[in-house]
Amino acid sequence: MKSAVKKLLCCGAKSFSQRTSLPEEGRVRVYVGNNRDTQCKLEMDADFLTHPLFEELLRFSEEEFGYSYDGALRIACEINVFIDLINFLKSATHSPYINNTSF
């Protein structure tokens, strides 16, 4: 089931990115996946970037992919783990990092 969700998200993200060149205000585009050939392009709330869990993920991604590259942020993480993290951040209503917009 999770692999089907991943495929739908990736396909939807690719078709969405063909319609617009920039993410909506308050959102950021990211490539998620451990392998560049299988990365999925997604958008997420920019507010999540300052969460300590996400900062740690970005540090790990910098080690994996380097810091200097063009385009969207690259997140070295399994897609289903990334989605679980985003869902956790969205569900933590007591958190100051939460913006009630959709993933």
pLDDT at 84: 92
Question: What is the residue whose two structure tokens read 């507010």?
Answer: 47
3-class DSSP assignment, residue 28: strand
Helical pair 79-91 and 52-65, crossing angle rounded to 10 deg: 160
| Model confidence pLDDT, tens digit, residues 56-95 | 998 888 887 776 666 778 888 899 999 999 998 888 754 5
- Using alpha carbons, select from 76, 67, 63 the residue that is nearest to residue 34: 76
Question: What is the residue whose two structure tokens read 């993290």?
Answer: 85
